[in-house]
Amino acid sequence: MFKTALEPCRGDSRIFNYLISKGLNTKWAEISEGIDYLTTPFEKVDLILTNPPFSLAQEFIEKAIKEADTVIMLLRLNYLGSQKRNIFWNKFPPTALHVLSKRPSFTGSGTDATEYAWFIWDKVNKIDKGIKHII
C-alpha cells in the first residue's frame, strides 16, 4: 500500500516504530532533536503519519498535504470546531475520520477525557472515505 513515510513529530518513537514495523522506508523529524518539521524541506513521501502539537496542527497539515499523497494526523475531535478554522476546513476538508472509541493515554497514566480521531487527507484513494469508528 505505502512504501515511503515520514513521521514529523517522532517524540517517543511509537508511531515511527509502527511505520518501520510495517516495512516502510521512514524518515522522521523531531524538534527536540534539532529537526523542525515546519522549517525542514523533505522529499515527497507516500504517507505522513503523526500526532502533531495541537497548537501547530494547521501548519503541520498544510505542509504535509504538499509533501505526501496521504496524510494522517491524530487530533482532538474538537479540532473540527472554531470559527477561526472555517476557511481552513473549506480549503482542506479531510477525506476520512477514524474516531477512536477508546481514549488514548499519552502518558501511560490514564486519559485526558478528550475524544480523538485520525484525520485523513488521501489524494490517491488508498483509504476509504467517510467516518469510521475504531473499537
Strand partners, 121: 71
Please report which residue ranges of the chain form alpha helices under DSSP H.
14-21, 57-67, 86-91
Provide the pLDDT for residue 110.
60
18 pLDDT more than 60:
yes
Tens digits of residue pLDDT in 86-112: 999 999 999 999 999 876 656 566 667
Residue 95 CB: number of other CB atoms within 10 A?
16
Report the C-alpha gap between 19 and 118 in whole angstroms. Answer: 15
Q: Convert 12-34 to b/e letters by CB count within 10 Å (16 or more is b).
A: eeebbeebeeeebebbbbbbeee
Q: What is the mean pLDDT of residues 25-33?
A: 97
Q: pTM, whole model, 2 decimals?
A: 0.91
